[in-house]
Amino acid sequence: MNLWGGTTFDFYSGIGSHDPKIINPYLEHLIVFLESHNNSLVVCDLGCGDFNIGKHLAKYTKKYIAIDIVEKLINRNKKIFEEDNLEFYCLDIAKDKLPSADCIIIRQVLQHLSNSEIQSIIKKLVNYKYIILTEHIPLGHFIPNKDIISGQGIRLKENSGVDLLVLPFKLKVKDQKILDEHILENNKGRILTTLYEVF
């Protein structure tokens, strides 16, 4: 329905996946991380969308597993993006079993989900060594994890955003590091990417 723009695209994952000012620094930081592991990590991308991000990262991995809930989108991605180390699956990440991997990428996905769905995903995240999480959150102080109904919208208008380390989620991590932060214009918040190392 082009609710996120991109009227000339068959599928469009929004400006956060297409604006060079947002995605280029993000890609640079992720490539540095992947190369620091000698391109040997198996990466699972939860919510790969139109694959405008993942297409730049797959070659820096041992295997790149891209997942989305939209079957027509996954079928489209399979036709457009073909690499020996690339796999696409149509899964509901809140309900279905996830593939084995070393690293999980979740880019601006949890912000659209209810707390109960996020909780079910977190239970699976503890099986991975690294989590690279990107969330659109307010500038300055905000109230984390206000519940929403899953859908197109996010918590920003409620002065809230997803923080996995606080209630009700309380994800336990060994280490965390901010990889990238992009401040949006007109007080529209910031896009924050954090690397978590799990116990």
* Contacts with 158 (C-beta within 8 Å, 6 or more apart), sequence order: 143, 146, 148
Which pLDDT score, from 0 to 100, does residue 136 have? Answer: 97
**Using CA atoms, how far apart are residues 191 and 168, in angstroms rounded to an integer?**
22
Q: Are 132 and 110 in contact (CB under 8 A)?
A: no
Q: Hey, where are the domains in the chain?
A: 21-141+155-184
DSSP-assigned states of every residue in 131-174: EEEEEEE-SSS--TT----SSS--GGGGT----TTSTTT---EE
Architecture of domain 21-141+155-184: 3-Layer(aba) Sandwich (3.40)
Dist. CA 139–CA 151, nearest whole Å: 22
The tens-digit pLDDT sequence of the chain (199 residues) is 555 555 556 765 767 788 899 999 999 999 999 999 999 999 999 999 999 999 999 999 999 999 999 999 999 999 999 999 999 999 999 999 999 999 999 999 999 999 999 999 999 999 999 999 999 999 999 999 999 999 889 999 999 999 999 999 999 999 999 999 999 998 899 999 999 999 8
Report pLDDT for 76.
Answer: 95
Q: Could you give the CA distance from residue 116 to residue 121 in angstroms, rounded to a whole number?
A: 9
Name the token pair of 52: 């405008």
- What is the reported pLDDT for 17? 82
pLDDT of residue 29: 98
- The pLDDT score that the predictor gives to residue 6 is 55
